[in-house]
Structure 1
Amino acid sequence: MGKQQVQQYLKQLDIRKSVVGLATGATAVYLLYKAVRAGMKCQPPLSTASPTCIARLAIERERQGRDSGELRRLLNSLERKQDEYAKSMILHSITRCVYLLEAEASACTTEDIMLVGCMLDDKDNSVKTQALNTLKAFSGFRKFKLKIQEHSIKVLELLSTIWDSELHLAGLRLLNSLSLPDFAHPQLRRVMPALIEILQSDYILAQVQALRLLSSLAQKNDLLYDILNCQVHSNFLNLFQATQPGSLLFEALVFAERLSEGRNTPHYRAVQWHYNERSLHEALFGDGSRLADRLLALVIHPEEEVQIQACKVIVSLQCPQGSAVQLSSSGKTSHSIFNSGK
């Protein structure tokens, strides 16, 4: 065997050893991945400890089969008087623990949820934001959902009274993880303009979450008119430009489809609705709307899910009677080859 062959053989041995090492350490790698993912789910304060220390606790728990006690220690420390920065750091660590130490999180109580919920009344916006992230983490457990829903009115109030992009993102993510109860509908009507304003902000992550929430609310008969009559900026249709990120475009198209389907239902059409001239309805479905042009451009978008969703909106813009239509460049509909979506 030549020198080069020997070196190649040794290299292959090293590679095999590395593969075996990776396989045997799969549990640790997975938990470290969860740690990083948990850290991405909530924005940390400026100088929090690395999430890998909590991942080590999770690994130890897997090995020893007993609680680390870390989550309970953090919750107990939250009960003591802390300054705003300390509370923010503690809440951030609690959030990571909930994602990583699932058994310990499941053992928590509704009193713990109430404790975190109290932080929504803190005067510091970063504490509010971290509390929203923590509630979002706990919402992954069915046993806590009803208790967390009780805070939905407060969350809506925060979204409508505080202009903070990170708080908006955290609040919207929380609301999207819940089934909003009917008792929240009056508050939703009051905050609808704020939700539409967040939708028109320049923070893409919050815009996507706002669209998901609004798409869900658009399916509620008693909220549809409130959404459609909200005032929007003159450049609202920029949301449907091909240059927008695909994730934002897709959610905007889903929203448009839900609104179009809702306004064409017999229940909705039975009432003669009147819309503000600057309303969302006029921007999307009015005689002067340029939505048709945007949709036709998106049919050839590079991302397939955007193409498909654009076609779905086009189909939904047919006449309510189900006759085939075509979108003209002026945004109006006319009879043509679109054969009832088939």
Structure 2
Amino acid sequence: MEHSVSGRSPHESRPFSPPQEHSIKVLELISTIWDTELHIAGLRLLNNLPLPDYVHPQLRRVMPALMEIMQSDYILSQIQAAHLLSYLAQKNDLLYDILNCQVHPNFLNLFQSSEPGSLLFEVLVFAERLSEGRNATHYRAVKWHYNEQSLHEALFGDESRLADRLLSLVIHPEEEVQIQACKVIVSLQCPQDLGSRPSACRSTHSYFKSGK
């Protein structure tokens, strides 16, 4: 039953709260309370609410929590977190914050063929968005510094084994996973305007070209 702290009847009209106000409250909840059902419901709501630019500071603060949820053991909350992060990865002012988020040493386990296809698809979309974002001209124009345990290093660092995982997913039994894995591979290839700086992507390019 709904209770009114002010003593006002729950059936009385209330001031309208804009969606972004709700999004800030939900972000606070999912980042401070570790409850799977709350994460699933909250993230599903956030994935259906507008997130205007002035909510970005709050999003930046809860980014580590979103990354932790995506690495949890609960498939439904992982899927919702990956979906939200894929959307946020397209925001220029949030991309670095996402890429520099600290992740677990076994982060690439999310790309194992044994994971559910629905989760693999969302994680692969996330990887594609990140790859496209970091290859954008305006992003490459800045010399970014990432911590050693960052998402960037896990996915795109010199020691990353992402290429191995992607190649194994190309033969995944689910077609949408196969297709999305191929899209990530394509996104990892050298942007054409890097012709004057071939060393910037030689390792990834040659890896896939040689069929290792």
TM band (smaller chain)? 0.7 to 0.9
Deviation of 1:305 (Å): 0.3
1:295-315 C-alpha deviation (Å, 9 max, x unpaired): 000000000000000000000
Give 1:301's aligned residue. Answer: 172
Aligned 8 A contact 2:135 2:191 in 1: yes
Work out which of the two has the higher radius of gyration on C-alpha atoms and give 1 or 2: 1
- Rounded to whole Å, the distance in 1 between the matches of 2:92 and 2:53 is 12
Write out the 4+ residue segments of structure 1 that deviate beyond 3 Å after TM superposition.
334-338
1:158-215 C-alpha deviation (Å, 9 max, x unpaired): 1111111110111100000012011110011111000000000000000000000000
| 1:312 paired residue among 177, 183, 192 | 183
- Rounded to whole Å, the distance in 2 between the matches of 1:165 and 1:337 is 38
Q: Indicate whether 1:275 and 2:137 are aligned.
A: no
Q: Indicate whether 1:229 and 2:132 are aligned.
A: no
Give 2:2's aligned residue. Answer: 78
- Structure 1 residues 207 and 113, CA gap change in structure 2 (3 angstroms): farther
| Number of matched pairs | 198
- Rounded to whole Å, the distance in 2 between the matches of 1:238 and 1:182 is 32
Give 2:198's aligned residue. Answer: none
1:56-91 C-alpha deviation (Å, 9 max, x unpaired): xxxxxxxxxxxxxxxxxxxxx52457xxxxxxxxxx
Give 2:8's aligned residue. Answer: none
Task: State the TM-score, normalizing by the size of structure 2.
Answer: 0.87
| 1:183 paired residue among 34, 43, 54 | 54
Q: Which amino acid aligns with 2:14?
A: E
Q: Indicate whether 1:173 and 2:97 are aligned.
A: no
Cα RMSD (Å): 2.4
Q: Which amino acid aligns with 1:204?
A: I
Task: State the TM-score, normalizing by the size of structure 1.
Answer: 0.55
Residue identity over aligned pairs, in percent, reads 75
Deviation of 1:317 (Å): 0.2
- Structure 1 residues 231 and 312, CA gap change in structure 2 (3 angstroms): same
| 1:194 paired residue among 30, 45, 65 | 65
Deviation of 1:321 (Å): 2.4
- Structure 1 residues 80 and 334, CA gap change in structure 2 (3 angstroms): closer
Q: Structure 1 stretches of 5 or more lacking a match?
A: 1-76, 82-107, 115-146, 325-330
Q: Which amino acid aligns with 2:123?
A: A
- Structure 1 residues 160 and 337, CA gap change in structure 2 (3 angstroms): closer
Q: Which has the higher contact order (CA 8 A, sep 6+)?
A: 2
Deviation of 1:319 (Å): 1.1
Aligned 8 A contact 1:299 1:308 in 2: yes
